Amino acid sequence: MHGNQSGGLIRERLLKFGFFERLFRTNHKKQERIEARERLLNEAAHEIRTSITIIKGQAQLAQLLRARGKLNDAAMNRTLDVVADESVQLQRKCDRFLSAFVSKGDRG
């Protein structure tokens, strides 16, 4: 009887080990998804902040030039071109990152 008891104990421990191994793998996959989402969010934040900084810098430069009486048509056109171009880039970045974030969220 002792042999059957130890065999049952071994089977029980192996089953528990398998359960914990599966649990560990599941948790590891979840952690990897969380880390991937965090990387995506950090990248998105960086890209968006960069575009906003460029737009803000151009607006501040135009204000400075205006205050000094040096905001001529050429300077204003350059500023507006940069702001318009960067706004388009910012919109694309937002769309791309939001789409990626939503699609990753759908996959769990």
Q: What is the pLDDT of residue 1?
A: 46
Q: Predicted confidence band at 91 (pLDDT cuts at 50, 70, 90)?
A: very high
Scanning the chain, the segments in alpha helix (DSSP H) are 2-67, 73-107
**Where are the domains positioned within the chain?**
2-107
Q: Give tens-digit pLDDT for 4-33.
A: 566 677 777 777 777 778 878 888 899 998
47 pLDDT exceeds 50? yes
Radius of gyration, alpha carbons of the chain: 28
69 pLDDT exceeds 50? yes
108 pLDDT exceeds 60? no
- Give CA torsion, residues 37, 43, 45, 48, to 10 deg: -130
Percent over 90 (pLDDT), the chain: 51
Task: State the fold for domain 2-107.
Answer: Helix Hairpins (1.10.287)
d(CA 89, CA 81): 12
